[in-house]
Structure 1
Amino acid sequence: MSDPHSTAPVPSPRRRVGRPAGRRAGDTTTRDRILDSARQHFARGSYSSTTIRAIAADADVNPALVIHYFGSKRDLFGATLRLPLHLRDQVSALIRTDPDDMGEHVVRLFLTAWRDQNVRTPLSAMIRSVFSDEGAADALGQFLATHLLGPLVAASRRDRPELRVSLAASHLAGLVIGRHILGVAPLARADIEQLVACVGPVIQHYLTGRLPAVPTE
């Protein structure tokens, strides 16, 4: 018969064997760890070759936790593309500037952002995947529309905002592909202010200029 006054330790519940699911929901360090892992994987490979399972393994979490935080690979990829706080503040400041100068400001901000490693690494990986993966192309468009061009077009209250965003996004994407991915010599060597002077007026027209009338049947 056991002694009711015994001080022997009570055995702890047996832990379930397997990879930990991460810290409790809402722990920002777990979320940041997943994002860091995702950035590294997308930078080393491509959108299509990167898997949730591999990202989770390097972040030391269960793959289900990645889905819990981000929903899908596309949403996780989009999260890695979010502008750093200082760049988001600059986008917000552009909304309050003279809309007639917006094109030059947008081009300067976008090209300058590529000097930031946290922006350049995931964007470069994503753009390399655009040519072969529809999901990466969608993620690029979503990034430009949500974090850079969309708010500016909405603030200008011009007609056909979705078309304006698409035109400007396509032009900016082509510019950085030529400059940073393909390394087209004149673009790669050009000073940022040279490109701002050349491309700024075009982006300005897309954002605030008069677009051709929609043909009617």
Structure 2
Amino acid sequence: MTSTPLGTSRRRPTGRRAGDSGTRDAILDAARDLFAEHALEGTSMRAIAKQAGVDPALIRHFFTDKETLFATTMTDRTVIIERMRAALPGDPDSLGERMTNEYLLLWEDDELRPVLMALVRSATTSQNAADLLIELFTARMHGDSLEPGVPITQLRGAALAASHLFGVAVARHILHVPAVVDIPHDELVQSIAPAIQNYLNPTARPQ
């Protein structure tokens, strides 16, 4: 455990902080830790408020509801999006391999795995949370500004690639399917990458 940056010395009797930015940051930090440990359904707004040292009403003031707080936390308080975006630049013909490698490495990160598992559990039990995550993740992956008029084939390709990678991660890290768990990382990447490449850039097929 790290030191307690959200310790009792920073709490105020009213639960309010000097400045909206500090309050919002404290809520997001507390939510990140609790969501990673208990997922969406196992985390209450009251528990987040207690850990952040704020009044529960402030959470609704900033985020409206728990699902919105969850989606915002996953995008603002983790490096998942930044890591995936870093894999985008480069040769279009090897995009599938880069994205596959980075996504699977995220799941092998001891600090990120609990967050990713919370994402899976929450998105599969709350349609609202799933919709918000898809919307926010898509925006962040495109630099917070989606290009208008993106071809439907490109959107479908991205959705299929994400679904494929998601399914492999669930089989490997949650269901622990032996035939998938036993595959070494590099071999797994090489097995999956051609399909991901075809989803993302179907015109760039291997020679």
| TM-score normalised by structure 1 residue count | 0.71
Identity among equivalent positions (%) equals: 34
Answer with 1 or 2: which has the greater Rg: 1
**Could you say what secondary structure the match of 2:39 adopts?**
coil
**Partner residue, 2:122:** 129
Asked if structure 2 preserves the Cα contact closer than 8 Å seen for 1:53 and 1:63, the reply is: yes
Where does structure 1 lack aligned partners over 5 or more consecutive residues?
Answer: 1-16, 211-217
**Partner residue, 1:60:** 53
Relative distance call for 1:192 and 1:81 in structure 2 (3 A) is: farther
**Partner residue, 1:25:** 20
Which of 178, 182, 198 does residue 191 from structure 2 map onto? 198
Is 1:138 aligned with 2:141? no
Deviations 1:105-140 (A, max 9, x none): 001011111233443222201212333321343245
Is 1:102 aligned with 2:95? yes
Is 1:112 aligned with 2:105? yes
Amino acid at match of 1:51: S
Where does structure 2 lack aligned partners over 5 or more consecutive residues?
Answer: 1-11
Shift of 1:38: 1.2
Shift of 1:184: 1.0
Relative distance call for 1:175 and 1:206 in structure 2 (3 A) is: same
Relative distance call for 1:36 and 1:118 in structure 2 (3 A) is: farther
Shift of 1:24: 1.7
Q: Distance in 2 between matches of 1:147 and 1:175?
A: 23
| TM-score normalised by structure 2 residue count | 0.74
